[in-house]
Amino acid sequence: MTKEKLIDFLHQGNNISPIVYQRIAEYFNYKKLAKGEFQLSAGKICDEYLFLEKGYLRAFVHDTEGNEVTTNFYEPGEMVFEVSSFFKRGKSKENIHAMSECEGWYITFAQLNTLFHSIPEFRDFGRSILVQGFAGLKSRTLSMITETAEQRYAELLKSSPAIFQQAPLKNIASFLGITDTSLSRIRKEFAKKH
C-alpha cells in the first residue's frame, strides 16, 4: 500500500509544499487491524495518531451499568486517536475497535512532537485537525440537547451513510442516544417519508 492517500490528506487545504509533506509522510508507519481488533483499549495510553485509509472503526465506553455506549465512528480519510489520552498522556476511558478490516498510517506521540518542533507548517496542520475535532464534538454535544432523535438520525444518515452498512443498529442507537426500539421506529417512519 502506498502513502498516496495520506499525502493527499496532509496536502488538503494546507499551505505545505510537496517536499515538506513528503518528508512528513516518511514518519508514518503502516498499520493493519483485523475486524474486531482494538486500536485502543480503555486503561491504556493512546500513543498512535492514525490516518485511517480503509475500513471503519468505532469508539465506545461502558456506562455505570456496564453497557457499551458508542461515542464515535471513524471512516476512511479521518484521523483516529483519543485526544485527551494522546495529549495528556493519561489512561483512556474509551475503546476504539475495528468494525471491519482496517488499514492506515500512524505516528507515535514522540514522532508527532518531533514533527511539530521541526516543521512549523505541520503545527498548522495539527491545529486544524484539533479545531475540526473540537468543532465536531461541540456540534454533537449541542445536537444531543437541541435536536430530536429523528433529526440526529437524519443528520447521521446524510453525513455518514456507510455507517449504516458497517455498524450494528444497537451501536448506532447508542451513538444517537436512543434505544434500539426507538431507532427501529424512526427508521420505519423515515422510510415512509422518503
Find the distance separating the first CA and the last CA of the chain, reported in whole Å: 40
- 25 and 3 Cβ atoms separated by less than 8 Å: yes
Residues 33-46: tens digit of each pLDDT: 999 999 999 999 99
90 pLDDT above the threshold of 90: yes
Output the pLDDT for position 13: 61
Quick one: how far is CA 5 from the chain centroid?
17
* pLDDT tens-digit map of 122-175: 888 888 888 888 898 899 999 999 999 999 999 999 999 999 999 999 999 999
Instruction: Tell me which H or E stretch contains 53.
Output: strand 48-54
Q: Who wins on pLDDT, 20 or 112? A: 112
Which domains, from first to last, does the chain contain?
4-121 (2.60.120.10)
In the chain, the largest separation of any two C-alpha atoms, in whole Å, equals 56
* pLDDT of res. 54: 97
Q: Which helix (DSSP H) or strand (DSSP E) does residue 10 occupy?
A: helix 4-11
The secondary structure of 38-52 as a DSSP string is EEE-TTSBP-EEEEE
The residue with cell 427508521 is 187
Q: What is the mean pLDDT of residues 89-108?
A: 97
